Amino acid sequence: MTWRDTLQDLHEELAEVRAQRSQRAKEEERRREAQRKELTDLATSLGIASLLEEMNTVLLNGAGTLKTYSSWEKSPEDQPDDDDGGLLLLDEDEEEADYVSAELTWEEDGEREIAVDVGYGEEGLYLQVNGVDVRPDREALERSLVEAFREELEL
Protein backbone atom coordinates (compact mmCIF):
# COMPACT_ATOMS: atom_id res chain seq x y z
CA MET A 1 0.00 0.00 0.00
CA THR A 2 1.38 3.37 -0.95
CA TRP A 3 1.69 6.31 1.37
CA ARG A 4 -1.10 8.12 -0.44
CA ASP A 5 -3.43 5.09 -0.15
CA THR A 6 -2.71 4.85 3.58
CA LEU A 7 -3.55 8.50 4.03
CA GLN A 8 -6.72 8.11 1.98
CA ASP A 9 -7.84 5.14 4.12
CA LEU A 10 -7.09 7.11 7.28
CA HIS A 11 -9.05 10.06 5.88
CA GLU A 12 -12.13 7.88 5.36
CA GLU A 13 -11.80 6.37 8.85
CA LEU A 14 -11.43 9.85 10.32
CA ALA A 15 -14.56 11.06 8.50
CA GLU A 16 -16.60 8.25 10.08
CA VAL A 17 -15.27 8.98 13.56
CA ARG A 18 -15.93 12.70 13.17
CA ALA A 19 -19.50 12.02 12.04
CA GLN A 20 -20.09 9.77 15.08
CA ARG A 21 -18.65 12.40 17.45
CA SER A 22 -20.78 15.09 15.88
CA GLN A 23 -23.91 12.96 16.30
CA ARG A 24 -23.08 12.25 19.96
CA ALA A 25 -22.50 15.95 20.60
CA LYS A 26 -25.88 16.82 19.04
CA GLU A 27 -27.63 14.19 21.16
CA GLU A 28 -25.92 15.48 24.32
CA GLU A 29 -26.95 19.05 23.50
CA ARG A 30 -30.59 17.96 23.00
CA ARG A 31 -30.49 16.13 26.34
CA ARG A 32 -29.00 19.13 28.07
CA GLU A 33 -31.57 21.51 26.56
CA ALA A 34 -34.37 19.20 27.76
CA GLN A 35 -32.89 19.20 31.28
CA ARG A 36 -32.58 22.98 31.25
CA LYS A 37 -36.21 23.30 30.21
CA GLU A 38 -37.23 20.92 32.99
CA LEU A 39 -35.30 22.98 35.56
CA THR A 40 -36.83 26.23 34.35
CA ASP A 41 -40.31 24.73 34.26
CA LEU A 42 -39.95 23.34 37.80
CA ALA A 43 -38.70 26.66 39.18
CA THR A 44 -41.61 28.42 37.49
CA SER A 45 -44.24 25.90 38.57
CA LEU A 46 -43.07 26.06 42.20
CA GLY A 47 -43.22 29.86 42.04
CA ILE A 48 -39.80 30.25 43.62
CA ALA A 49 -39.28 33.87 42.57
CA SER A 50 -42.81 34.88 43.59
CA LEU A 51 -42.45 33.22 47.01
CA LEU A 52 -39.19 35.07 47.66
CA GLU A 53 -40.71 38.31 46.39
CA GLU A 54 -43.67 37.85 48.73
CA MET A 55 -41.28 37.23 51.64
CA ASN A 56 -39.47 40.43 50.69
CA THR A 57 -42.72 42.41 50.61
CA VAL A 58 -44.35 41.03 53.76
CA LEU A 59 -41.36 40.31 56.02
CA LEU A 60 -38.81 42.87 54.83
CA ASN A 61 -41.07 45.72 53.66
CA GLY A 62 -39.43 45.52 50.25
CA ALA A 63 -35.93 46.18 51.62
CA GLY A 64 -34.45 43.00 50.19
CA THR A 65 -33.01 42.30 46.77
CA LEU A 66 -34.14 39.38 44.64
CA LYS A 67 -31.80 37.94 42.04
CA THR A 68 -32.62 35.01 39.77
CA TYR A 69 -30.27 33.36 37.30
CA SER A 70 -29.35 30.10 35.63
CA SER A 71 -25.96 28.48 35.17
CA TRP A 72 -26.17 28.61 31.39
CA GLU A 73 -26.95 32.33 31.21
CA LYS A 74 -23.75 34.01 32.30
CA SER A 75 -23.98 37.55 33.59
CA PRO A 76 -21.09 40.05 33.21
CA GLU A 77 -20.10 39.48 36.86
CA ASP A 78 -19.62 35.77 36.09
CA GLN A 79 -17.01 36.50 33.43
CA PRO A 80 -13.39 35.63 34.25
CA ASP A 81 -11.13 38.31 35.71
CA ASP A 82 -8.37 39.78 33.55
CA ASP A 83 -5.66 38.55 35.91
CA ASP A 84 -6.22 34.96 34.71
CA GLY A 85 -5.68 35.95 31.09
CA GLY A 86 -9.38 35.69 30.29
CA LEU A 87 -9.34 31.91 30.64
CA LEU A 88 -11.85 29.99 32.69
CA LEU A 89 -9.91 27.00 33.92
CA LEU A 90 -11.80 23.81 34.71
CA ASP A 91 -10.59 20.32 35.40
CA GLU A 92 -10.61 18.19 32.27
CA ASP A 93 -13.26 15.86 33.69
CA GLU A 94 -15.32 18.62 35.30
CA GLU A 95 -18.60 19.35 33.58
CA GLU A 96 -20.62 22.25 34.86
CA ALA A 97 -23.90 21.08 36.31
CA ASP A 98 -26.97 23.04 35.24
CA TYR A 99 -29.02 24.86 37.86
CA VAL A 100 -31.52 27.67 38.35
CA SER A 101 -31.09 29.88 41.42
CA ALA A 102 -33.03 32.58 43.18
CA GLU A 103 -31.56 34.60 46.04
CA LEU A 104 -33.18 37.00 48.44
CA THR A 105 -30.60 39.15 50.23
CA TRP A 106 -31.05 41.88 52.80
CA GLU A 107 -29.25 43.77 55.54
CA GLU A 108 -30.41 43.11 59.05
CA ASP A 109 -27.68 43.02 61.67
CA GLY A 110 -25.36 41.91 58.87
CA GLU A 111 -25.97 40.54 55.40
CA ARG A 112 -28.65 37.84 55.22
CA GLU A 113 -29.52 35.52 52.37
CA ILE A 114 -32.00 32.85 51.39
CA ALA A 115 -30.94 30.92 48.30
CA VAL A 116 -33.11 28.44 46.42
CA ASP A 117 -31.45 26.16 43.88
CA VAL A 118 -33.01 23.73 41.42
CA GLY A 119 -30.55 21.62 39.52
CA TYR A 120 -29.16 18.32 38.40
CA GLY A 121 -26.56 16.58 40.52
CA GLU A 122 -25.04 13.13 40.55
CA GLU A 123 -28.28 11.68 41.90
CA GLY A 124 -30.61 13.54 39.56
CA LEU A 125 -32.92 16.50 40.06
CA TYR A 126 -32.65 18.42 43.34
CA LEU A 127 -34.25 21.37 45.12
CA GLN A 128 -32.36 23.08 47.93
CA VAL A 129 -33.03 26.00 50.25
CA ASN A 130 -29.80 27.38 51.72
CA GLY A 131 -28.09 24.10 50.85
CA VAL A 132 -30.70 21.86 52.51
CA ASP A 133 -32.48 19.33 50.29
CA VAL A 134 -36.22 19.90 49.96
CA ARG A 135 -38.91 17.76 48.37
CA PRO A 136 -39.82 19.42 45.04
CA ASP A 137 -43.37 20.47 45.90
CA ARG A 138 -44.78 23.86 46.82
CA GLU A 139 -45.83 23.02 50.37
CA ALA A 140 -42.40 21.61 51.29
CA LEU A 141 -40.74 24.63 49.67
CA GLU A 142 -42.90 27.08 51.64
CA ARG A 143 -42.06 25.33 54.94
CA SER A 144 -38.35 25.34 54.07
CA LEU A 145 -38.39 29.04 53.18
CA VAL A 146 -39.98 29.94 56.52
CA GLU A 147 -37.45 27.78 58.36
CA ALA A 148 -34.56 29.32 56.40
CA PHE A 149 -35.82 32.81 57.28
CA ARG A 150 -36.01 31.86 60.95
CA GLU A 151 -32.50 30.43 60.84
CA GLU A 152 -31.09 33.52 59.11
CA LEU A 153 -32.47 35.74 61.87
CA GLU A 154 -31.80 33.18 64.59
CA LEU A 155 -35.45 33.22 65.72
Q: DSSP states of 130-143 as a string? A: TTEE--SSHHHHHH
Digit-coded pLDDT (tens) for 33-60? 999 999 999 999 999 999 999 999 999 9
| pLDDT score, position 150 | 95
| Residue 108 · residue 153 · CB < 8 Å | yes
**Taking every pair of C-alpha atoms in the chain, what is the biggest distance, in angstroms?**
82
| pLDDT score, position 120 | 87
Q: Does the pLDDT value for residue 19 go beyond 80?
A: yes
Q: Does the pLDDT value for residue 107 go beyond 70?
A: yes
Digit-coded pLDDT (tens) for 76-89? 455 444 444 443 43
Q: Domain spans of the chain?
A: 3-75+96-152
Backbone angles phi, psi at 70, to 5 degrees: -130, 155
| Residue 149 · residue 116 · CB < 8 Å | no
Closest CA to 126 of 114, 107, 140: 140
